[in-house]
Amino acid sequence: MDLEERVDRVIRNTAEVLTPDELRPLFERESAPRTYIGFEPSGLLHVGHLITARKMRDLTEAGCRLTVFLADWHAWINDKFGGSLEKIRECGKYMRSAFIALGVDPGKTEFRWAQDLQARPGYWDRVIRVAKATSLARSRRALPILGRSENDANLDTAKLFYPSMQAADIFELPVEIAYAGIDQRRAHVLAREVAHHYHWPVPVAVHTPLISSLKGGGRMDPEAQTVERKMSKSDPTAGIPIPSDPEVVAERIDAAYCPAKEVDGNPIVELVRFVVFPWEGKLSIDRAAKHGGPFVLATEEEFLTTWKAGSLHPQDLKAAVAVALTRILEPVDRFFRSHPDAIPPVLRPGAAGPA
Residues with Cβ within 8 Å of residue 279, at least 6 apart in sequence: 50, 54, 324, 328
CA-nearest of 47, 348, 40, 355 to 214 is: 47
3-state DSSP percent of the chain in helix, strand and coil, to 5:
55, 15, 35
CB 270 within 8 Å of CB 257 = no
Name the 3-class secondary structure at 122. coil
Segments in the chain below pLDDT 50:
224-227
Name the 3-class secondary structure at 270. helix
Name the 3-class secondary structure at 78. coil
Going by the DSSP 8-state scheme, the letter that residue 285 receives in this structure is E
The span from the CA of 239 to the CA of 226, in Å, is 18
**CATH (one of 1.10.1580.10, 1.10.240.10, 3.30.360.10, 3.30.70.600) for 228-347:** 1.10.240.10
Domain ranges of the chain: 3-214, 228-347
Q: What are 179's strand-pairing partners? A: 206
Half-sphere exposure of 244 (CA within 13 A, CB side): 24
Give how far Cα 138 sits from Cα of 71, 130, 293, Å.
22, 12, 55
Burial class (CB in 10 A: 0-12, 13-18, 19+), 135: exposed
The span from the CA of 40 to the CA of 62, in Å, is 25
pTM, full prediction? 0.92
**Domain 3-214 is of which CATH architecture?**
3-Layer(aba) Sandwich (3.40)
Instruction: Give residue 225's pLDDT.
Output: 46
Name the 3-class secondary structure at 315. helix
The span from the CA of 202 to the CA of 221, in Å, is 25
Rounded to an integer, what is the distance from CA 170 to the centroid of its chain? Answer: 17
CB 248 within 8 Å of CB 240 = yes
H-helix or E-strand spanning residue 28? helix 20-29
